[in-house]
Structures are given as structure tokens and as C-alpha cells.
Chain A
Amino acid sequence: MFHALVSIKQVPDTTNIRIDPETGNLIRQGVPTILNPYDAHAVASAVEWKRKLGGKVTVISMGPPAAVSSIRECIEMGADRGILLSARQFSGADTLATSYVLASTIEAVHAEDPIDLVFFGKQAIDGDTAQVGPGVASRLNMPMVTYAIAIREVNTDERYAVIERKTETRNESIKASLPAALTCEKDIAEIPFASLPDLIASLRYEPEVWTAESPIAFDPAQIGLKGSPTTVFKTGTPEKHVAGEVVKTVDVGVETAVKMVLDRLAMMADGNTILGMVRQ
């Protein structure tokens, strides 16, 4: 029997998001929340393999009570069990504290029902850190495959999976021993359109709610704001990139082309450094 666990996050729908021009912070008020899109694809992949191999999919999420709707969405896609980690003490967590809570939770689930694969989305679209998946995997001392685009094989008897991942230059196939963790690109699986009975079951589904004390007594020093050494000094929006000018060297001659490049570099804010390097 195959057991997949997917760690998901409810995030603000960044297609609708605005940035406060004065503070540079996200305006979260009134912004609808959605299941992090990469996580949705991770759930879809887990469910695909459950349907191939037989078994179950457990979904966990740390978040406010309203995150129930994202867990329901996973149930709708075919997940079997949902655990919501929700308590005031969890709030304000950075990726370190989050990975502690998730890793401890995964350990507890694993103890009662051994897990073969732990799925994450490649990153959450609100924080974009891509740190939680690897953080959990290293806490659990599990092989970690990031940027997964396909699962080629899962062999629960010989205890391995073959996972294809994207790198900047090419794709790699990784054979990892189970249990293994992976962070997923959207390519990993298509989001299924649930059957009506599955949809109705998800609408009625109430996930288990785990608090900071029960069933796991988390170390208060490692959770929430207390367990988060990260301090955000300032957030801001990156400058808009403007398309560069394309000039053919054959049209203007090499000398002019080089001069144009140097002039442009000189105009840039940190141009002097680059210019110095170029001149050397």
C-alpha cells in the first residue's frame, strides 16, 4: 500500500494582490485566498499514484481555521485525510519554525501509518522562498528531490522512486530511496476535474485540527514568532524590467556597438563597477 503525504499552504491569490505603496507590504485585507497552485499539482500527482498503486493520500497544512477550504479542495481532488495545524501559537512562523512543525507532524503521521513520499509545491506564491520543503526533508533526514516535473516509477516493495527534476540546463532522473521528499513544479500532474460524489464528499469534509499541544506537544520555543529568527526589515517591489534595445553589429559596426554598450552600462546605477570590470 502506498501512502503519500502532501504539505499544502493556503495563500492570498497574488493575481489580485496589491502592494501598499508606502510600506511596501502586501495588502492582504479583502484578498481572496487560494490553495497554493504548486501544491495543487503536488496533490494531483499524489492522488494519481494512489490510484495507480492503491493506498491513501494525507494532506497537512499549517494555517488559520479558514484554511479548511484549501484542505477540502485537496479532498475534492481525491485526498483521503486532512490535518489542519491551527493554533494561535503557530502564527508568525518563518520557514524554520514552519519546517519544525511540519516535520514533527509528518513524523507523527509516519509513526502510525508509514509514509512513502512527502510532496511539497516548489514554493508558495506569497513568500516564494522554496525553503520549507527542503527544510522539512533535512530535519527528517530524507532524500529531497526539488523542482520535480514527473514521477517515473514508485516501487514500494524495493523501496525506491524515480523522479525527474528540472535543472537550469537539463532534466535529471533521480532514483531516491523511500521515504523520499519532493517539491513539485506544475508539470508533475494535471489538476483533475473531480466527480460529483467526490466534490460532495469534500464539501462535507471536516479535517482533523491539531493544536500546539495536542496530539503533539510542540516545543513552544521552536514554533510561531518565538521560533522564528527571521526578521523582515523591508519588503519592496522589484523594478520593472524594460525590454532592451536590439542593434545588429553588422548594421552599426563593432566599434559603435561596443560604445553603445559601454554608454548604457555607464547610465546604470551600479554601472561604474561593471564599467571598471569591462575596461580591465
Chain B
Amino acid sequence: MTSKQTQNGKIQFDVIVVGAGLAGSAAAAVTAQGGLSVALIERGQAPGAKNSFGGALYTHSLEEIYPDFWDRKPPLERPVTEAGFWFLSKDGLVNMTVRGGALGRQPADAYVALRAKFDLWWAEQAAQSGAFIIPKTTVTDFIRDSSGKIVGVDTDRAQGRIYAPVVIVCEGVNNLLTLKAGLSKSDLKPKAVALGVKQLIALPADTINARFGLPDNSHGLAVTVAGDVSMGLTGMGFVYTGNDCVSIGLGVTLEELAKAKIRPYALLQRYLNHPAIAPLVAGGRLMEYGAHLIPEGGWNDMPKLYTDGVMVAGDAATMVNALHWEGTNMAIIAGKEAAETAIKAHRRQDFSGKSLSEYRERLSKRFILKDLRQYRNLSRFLENHPTFMDVYPNFLNDALGMFFTGYGKTKKDLYGDIVRSLTRRRPLIKVVGDMLAFGKAVMGI
């Protein structure tokens, strides 16, 4: 809790972290554990207050920051014991999920979380490590010395300057400081962000267990919903089960949403009224209705990760992997690596970009930069291959539907019908092309 106040009343810390989300509180905790004084500045009333998220956190990343994570009684919801894809046609659903096996492990590899609760707790852990949390305060700009070097941040409060030789920016998707630091050249592009809209719907735990086929309250489901979710716009849906609530929503690219002039709530309402979705949440009480931007540009839109006196982590650095729902773990680990770099920089007493480039080296050795690079063409894959939104989900529904109703029919005719239900929609040669394209995008070749 020590900020070194100098004689002239300057508020001075060793490190400033902007934003008490997953990346920010991890960065602040690791910095404080390293013996440095750190200010964690959050614009919300409290950490988590500004958050809108329906998803999962990953055990490996939480344990990496706090090896005794489980003893700290984290406010997590259900473990993800069943995960996979649902493919929606207009009125049907093909379910491709896995449960048991690797997903039966305890503790599980992923846990559903409500971030308003979790982020508050996550920041408290950082405070216990020694980070000084300054809430209700918005960082508006950097302070630069006469040579232009960043030496701290200015805030929206009177006498609001805070000084530190290194600033870790974890400001989230709205990347104002990343721009001001010169790390991004242009503002967010509508095609590089998705708008996530979701509802959090309260249901009794027993009802959730019954509707989702979960044996008890210590089992949970996380699925990506593909197909007929977003009125033909490029997008994916999701369903996560909490202890006694269901988080359900979808993400669509902002550009298409604007072009189609469809209101996000209309899109969500349509999705929630889908005959395969509606019964899952029927009779529930709406707890939360939220929307948030998700930076899905990935590698191609990634800002420079460091410059003199500044590093950037989390959503602000487009650390999102939409196919694997990864992002929370990247944010946490990037926050940690930025903090480790800040600690080293203090030892070297060198806060130049060259010194802070260690941050990028650290990330490039881990899954974060490796994966984002490999998936660089996947972020816009759906946009460029709309057949994955309609042809294939519909075909899957038709094919399985025919297979399980083809009684008394010669099976030769049945298979013929099934194949035709595909070729009617897309010539075989194009199907092969689509699959190759998908494979290439996933493999990053």
C-alpha cells in the first residue's frame, strides 16, 4: 500500500495499471508481489461494475497468478462439464457436445463466471497482494515530460495526475489510451469488433439441471451456437449455465449490424424465440440485459504491444480467440507477463521501448501470440464464408433428420436424398473448397 509521495505532493507509484478487469488486476497483483508499489485505476464504481460478459474463466490462468487459488474461495459459478456446438436450422438443432472424459476432471478446466462478482473479488486479491485500487476515476491521457516520454497518467479528477515510469494499459475494448500512446494507428473498425448482446436469466438450479440434462448443480454447460442465430448476419450464439441463471446471447460484427439496420435487441429476441432455444429459458426472470463490444480482429488488428513507458494487455490488445472462447485467460496471462516485464524494467531502471520489448518476447513464447498468429485468418472466416452460417448447419439438421426418419425407405434412396440436400445448396466441389479453406484458416497456412 505504499505510494512514494514526494515532497512536492506528487502522487507517485512504481507502476500504474489502467483498468481493474482480468488483465489489470492480474498485472497489479503480480507487480505488488514483486515488491513494487502499484496503482490500479478503475473508472467503474467498483471493479466489475462496468463489466458485461457471459462466459467462462480458465483454471490454468487463475492458478498461474495464485497457486493457492482454490483456497481463496473464488466466486465462480458451475464448472464446464459439457461443452461443444449446437447447430441451428430454422426450427431444429443438432447437438454436438462432449461430456465426461476430459470434461469430467475436478477441478474443471473452465468455470462459468459472473464478472460483476468475480472481478470485484479478483481486484480484492490484488489489493491483498498490496496493489492500491483507485476506483471511480477515469484515466484521460498520459503525462509526458519535456522530451515526450510518458511519465504517468492524468485522470478526470482535480489534481488528478499520477506518476509512474511505466503504465500497463488494460483498458478493454475501447482503446482510447492505446491510441493516445501511439500503439494503434486507427480507431476500432466496425468490421473488427463484434457486438455481444446477452441476457442473464434467473432460473432455479433444479430447472436448469432438468432442461440442460445436468445431473446436479456441480455440472455446467457451455456451448457455441452456430447456424440460424443472427438473422443471416455473421455471428455466433452462446449459452452458459450459472448456478441459478443462464447466460445466453450472441455476437455479430458491428459492421453488418449497422449495414442491415437491425437493432441488437431484435436480434437477441429473435434468437431467444427460436423453437430450440425458447423452452430452455421459458419462465425465467431477466436479471441482466447487456451489450458489449468484443475485439475479434485478432492478429491482424493487434496494436503494437509496447512503447516507451507503456504496455498493453487484454481486450485492448485484441487478445481474443473466438473459436475456442479464449480471451479471459489471455488477458490474465498477458497482464502477468506485462507485470513481470515491469519488474525487470525497474531492476534495469530502463523503461524504454527496447527494455519493455521483453513483454512481447514473453508472449510470443506462449500460446497467446502463437495462437493469434495461427488463427489470423480465422477472425474473418465466417464473414468470407457465409455458407458456414446457413448451408452446413441446415445440411447437418436435414441429414440427421432424414437419417432418423428414413424408415421403410431403401437406404440407397435415403443417402441419395441426404447427398442431394447438400448439393442442392452447394456443389460438391465448392464444399471441398470450403472445408480446405476452413482447415487452412485453422492451421494458419
**In-complex Cβ contact of B157 among A193, A203, A204 (8 A):** A193
Given contacts A193-B158, A196-B11, A199-B137, 7 further A-B contacts (CB under 8 A): A193-B157, A194-B157, A195-B159, A196-B137, A199-B136, A203-B132, A203-B133
Q: Could you say which residues of chain B place their CB within 8 Å of the CB of A193?
A: 156-158
B49 to chain A, nearest CB (A): 9
Task: For B46, give the chain A residue with the smallest CB separation.
Answer: A32
A169 to chain B, nearest CB (A): 38
Q: Does B160 belong to the interface (CB within 8 Å)?
A: yes
Check if B157 sits within 8 Å of A195, measured CB to CB.
Answer: yes
Q: Could you say which residues of chain B place their CB within 8 Å of the CB of A276?
A: none
A5 to chain B, nearest CB (A): 26
Interface residues on A, range: under 10
* Candidate in A193, A200, A203 with the most chain B CB atoms within 10 angstroms: A200
Bound state CA distance, A199 and B162, in angstroms?
A: 13
* Candidate in A193, A199, A203 with the most chain B CB atoms within 10 angstroms: A199
Bound state CA distance, A196 and B158, in angstroms?
A: 6
Check if B1 sits within 8 Å of A200, measured CB to CB.
Answer: no
Residues 193-219 of A, flagged 1 when their CB comes within 8 A of B and 0 if not, give 111110110011000000000000000
Q: Does B207 belong to the interface (CB within 8 Å)?
A: no
Q: Does B134 belong to the interface (CB within 8 Å)?
A: yes
Check if A203 sits within 8 Å of B134, measured CB to CB.
Answer: yes
Q: Could you say which residues of chain B place their CB within 8 Å of the CB of A194?
A: 157-158
Q: Does B155 belong to the interface (CB within 8 Å)?
A: yes
Check if A197 sits within 8 Å of B11, measured CB to CB.
Answer: yes
Task: For A30, give the chain B residue with the smallest CB separation.
Answer: B117
The number of inter-chain residue pairs (CB within 8 angstroms) is 33
- Lowest 5 CB-CB distances: which A-B pairs, in order? A195-B158, A196-B157, A196-B160, A195-B159, A196-B159
Residues 104-139 of B, flagged 1 when their CB comes within 8 A of A and 0 if not, give 000000000000000000000000000011101100
Bound state CA distance, A193 and B156, in angstroms?
A: 9
Within 8 A of B (CB), among A141-196: 193-196
Task: For A194, give the chain B residue with the smallest CB separation.
Answer: B157
Check if B155 sits within 8 Å of A196, measured CB to CB.
Answer: yes
B427 to chain A, nearest CB (A): 56
Within 8 A of A (CB), among B152-171: 155-162
Task: For B39, give the chain A residue with the smallest CB separation.
Answer: A200
What are 7 inter-chain pairs, A to B, with CB distance below 8 A?
A: A193-B158, A196-B11, A196-B155, A197-B9, A197-B11, A199-B137, A200-B3
Bound state CA distance, A110 and B423, in angstroms?
A: 89
Check if B1 sits within 8 Å of A199, measured CB to CB.
Answer: no
Q: Could you say which residues of chain A place their CB within 8 Å of the CB of B132?
A: 203
Q: Could you say which residues of chain A place their CB within 8 Å of the CB of B136?
A: 199
* Candidate in B155, B157, B160, B162 with the most chain A CB atoms within 10 angstroms: B157
Task: For A18, give the chain B residue with the smallest CB separation.
Answer: B285
Check if A200 sits within 8 Å of B11, measured CB to CB.
Answer: yes
A138 to chain B, nearest CB (A): 37
Task: For B161, give the chain A residue with the smallest CB separation.
Answer: A196
Check if A195 sits within 8 Å of B160, measured CB to CB.
Answer: yes
Check if B11 sits within 8 Å of A199, measured CB to CB.
Answer: no
Task: For A203, give the chain B residue with the smallest CB separation.
Answer: B134
* Candidate in A193, A196, A204 with the most chain B CB atoms within 10 angstroms: A196
Check if A199 sits within 8 Å of B133, measured CB to CB.
Answer: no
Bound state CA distance, A199 and B3, in angstroms?
A: 14
Bound state CA distance, A147 and B158, in angstroms?
A: 32
